[in-house]
Amino acid sequence: MTDGNAVEREAGAQFNLSVMSDDFAEVISGALDAVDTKKVWMKTDDVATAATGSIADVFDVVKAIYLNAAKTGLHVEMSGNIVLGGCNTGEDENDKNKVRLNDEASGRISQKAGCRFSIYPLGETGYIEKITKAAEKLVDHNVQVSAAPFATRLDGEVNDIFAAMEGIFTELQETSEHVVMPFTISCNSPSGR
């Protein structure tokens, strides 16, 4: 598999966005509406939002939705899974174009956050070594990396956190047919770390 697979292989995300405010519905709707989703298939219902497209486009959209809610200054949390394999919607909107539609706007939003994630390349032999080797590169994304119960914790700017998660996801998908990454990211928490 090649680096182009991050653009060509279809990934999916399912997540929910929680805003600790009385106007949570408006904040969530506003974040969803502010993001350009032309390059992904996306559906939101009363439980979660799902999106499928290229790996790059899925990460672009999920990050942009989170940032658009977080920029309100409210305590915002997103939990979900990003998955490679088994997420075909039957609608291939993936145009294989490397341009990220939300990258410029997301780059203008500065927001610190904490994130916990795990990653599982399913069906792999020697998967622990592959995860460990890929995880050693997380610090290259300007994030603080630490151990957390059942997960790895990343602290830093949201743009850098998503770049780190996408980096490890993209690396592990090179040799895996099916990758699962559960994550939770939170900002502006009154409890701090």
Question: Which structural domains are found in the chain, ordered by start?
Answer: 5-86+106-187 (3.30.70.930)
pLDDT of 18 above 60: yes
This prediction has a pTM of: 0.90
Strand partners, 83: 12, 180
pLDDT, the chain, mean: 89
Instruction: Say how far residue 112 (Cα) sits from the centre of its chain.
Output: 15
SS3 52: strand
Confidence (pLDDT) at 1: 41
DSSP letter at 140? G
Q: What are the two backbone dihedrals, phi and then psi, of residue 111, each rounded to the nearest 5 degrees?
A: -150, 125
Confidence (pLDDT) at 64: 98
